[in-house]
Amino acid sequence: MENPLMSGAELGRAFESGTIDPVEALEQYLARASQTKHVFIARTEERARAEAKLAAERWRRKQPLGPLDGVPIAWKDLFDVRGTVTTAGAAVFTDHPPATEDAKLVAMAARAGLVCLGKTNLVEFAFSGIGINPHFGTPHNPFDAKVARVPGGSSSGSAVAVAVGAVPISMGTDTAGSIRIPAAFNGLVGFKSSSRHYSRDGVFPLSRTLDSLGPLAHTVEDCILLDALFHDAQPPRILAADLAQQRFVVDEVLLHDPRVEEGVRKNLERALDALRAQGARIEHRKVDALHEVWALIERIGWMAAPEAVAIHEKLLDSPDAARMDPRVRKRLDGARGFRASDYVHLQWARERLIAQVGEELGGAVLVLPTVAHVAPELEPLERDLDRFVATNLATLRLTMLGSFLDMPGVALPTGVDAAGLTTSVLVSVPSGHDARILSVALAAEHALSSQRPTHQRAL
């Protein structure tokens, strides 16, 4: 396998042509995975080898189960995988019994022939956008070989596993940015679905209202292929949109906020130029619903926090609370005073604003920087809790808007800044229009192909 950064679709085409078979490919991915630090919580090597062997035989008979038959996939350790403990990134969960069956999406992927390589690291209970985990270690961002930088969270291991070529595709979860942020920091495509687009059966929750699922991959094509198999649709039902028929809305206030770094803004403006060159119409105007959402968050708080408290309250009141990541425990303890009336007001406002953003966009696609800054250095955030809190909020600031509004979105690479750190653009549409945003993202990815980060990534 000449290129360890092959997409899943490219690998499937290599299986079809016979240039490599699933068993050979798996061994190369396992070897690379074994060299990574803090990326995997568990590797399911025995299962993977058995699945790869069956896939290789199907390709030899020219009877594959689909275009991703034999392609390795990794799962954020919130997904149940039969025979493994679902740790949710928490030391206090490591003594839980192993899962007796696969989460629904894991089972669907297996039926389509994908090879389960293992379970990836994450922020404890998926409750941060930075990616730090004191229990299983923190995966380092591969785009800086000299200074340790954060991977983004909470789907940290899922992103780094793909970025370094330890697996071609991984699955994550996203409640406030946990797919889109690590995609941005690691030069990947990240698809956050609408909250009900995929089954969450067998996935440990953070917020039953805001949780959503989706892949981290090298290409939008892989996201579309996974979307098809998760909806039992063969062949994939999504084609590239005609950019000449698309309108994109850029919120000028958010784009020119001084917190948006120069490299992020410049690369996004280049991306807009590339879309415009394909005939797309670009509108620069304020989207009031986004600013109302942020005003609510600043005034009342983040609605996922009290839901997370409800899930973890028994743990917080037990002696095992001392074993938690102090950053996560502090945030959960801080949400204990969240008033029931405030939570209800957020729910009511959310219903209204989901409708409002659709009206304001009027069929257009929303464009934002995925994150306003590039991946920050790790050590200062591990050392200084106040700095961590401030940086975490700054990192989540833009992705939280789409999460509150249940907007499916795709993070796309826009290149690197002057220091070689990756930047990203987020394209989103109103809730429920997942197929449309994948179609638009597929076309946009082609237009932006010259901006993909290409330099060497460190293990």
Per-residue pLDDT tens over the stretch 199-230:
999 999 999 999 999 999 999 999 999 999 99
Closest CA to 303 of 182, 436, 405: 405
Over residues 284-308, mean pLDDT = 98
Q: Which domains does the chain have, with CATH numbers?
A: 8-300+320-451 (3.90.1300.10)
Return the pLDDT at 3: 82
Return the pLDDT at 448: 97
- DSSP H stretches of helix in 362-410: 379-383, 385-396, 399-404
Return the pLDDT at 381: 98
Active site residue 330: no
Over residues 268-277, mean pLDDT = 98
Q: What are the phi and psi torsion angles at 171 (to 5°)?
A: -115, 140
At position 282, the amino acid (one-letter code) is I
Active site residue 439: no
Task: Identify the three-state secondary structure at position 244.
Answer: helix
Task: Look at residue 457 and tell me whether its pLDDT is greater than 80.
Answer: no
Over residues 92-117, mean pLDDT = 98
- Give 26-82 pLDDT, tens digit per residue: 999 999 999 999 999 999 999 999 999 999 999 999 999 999 999 999 999 999 999
Return the pLDDT at 230: 97
Active site residue 314: no
Catalytic residue among 7, 76, 128, 192: 76
Whether this prediction's pTM lies above 0.85 is answered by yes
Catalytic residue among 155, 178, 194, 424: 178
- Confidence at 4, pLDDT banded by 50, 70, 90: confident
Catalytic residue among 128, 154, 193, 212: 154
DSSP E strands: which ranges in 101-211?
115-120, 169-174, 189-192
Q: Are residues 130 and 388 in contact, defined by beta-carbon separation less than 8 angstroms? A: yes
